[in-house]
Structure 1
């Protein structure tokens, strides 16, 4: 378990990382470094919406080649990047500012 904590700390301390979520296959976040206090629903929204997107991406990859599977994907917008590393029943989601904005 200490190894997992070290990896989470290492990821969240990277330059530009705004948040890290560990989410189950139903979109429920199990661990978050993002604030969820008050009316801030961002962690829940990321968890639900990105999980839906990851499932669709996995389905596309498998439709193209049934012997293949999704291992990682990244979505970039003007304001942020969302990186997803899926596992069997979990998704690791990292939200960060694009590199140019960090410099």
Structure 2
């Protein structure tokens, strides 16, 4: 656009300084990546994991939330057309395609 002032890209340092208070960047919370890996992916301990095969590893906290939900709630038959069973079907599909 003619006459429009050209905006310079922010440096990473300037980007981080310009964030709103309380906004985290990346993994945040001052946690080291090794601590995050140990907490969320303990099954990777001692191995090198290459994700080039398109497989995905889910964090431990997400797996725990799903299993706790399925364990603590009573769901209906996922194959039934009953309205009360729709929640079960939707939950299973959500987990399956997650």
Q: TM-score, normalised by structure 1?
A: 0.26
* Higher helix residue share: 2
Q: Which one has more relative contact order, counting CA pairs under 8 Å at least 6 apart?
A: 1
Q: TM-score, normalised by structure 2?
A: 0.27
Name which one, 1 or 2, has greater alpha-carbon Rg. 2
* Higher strand residue share: 1
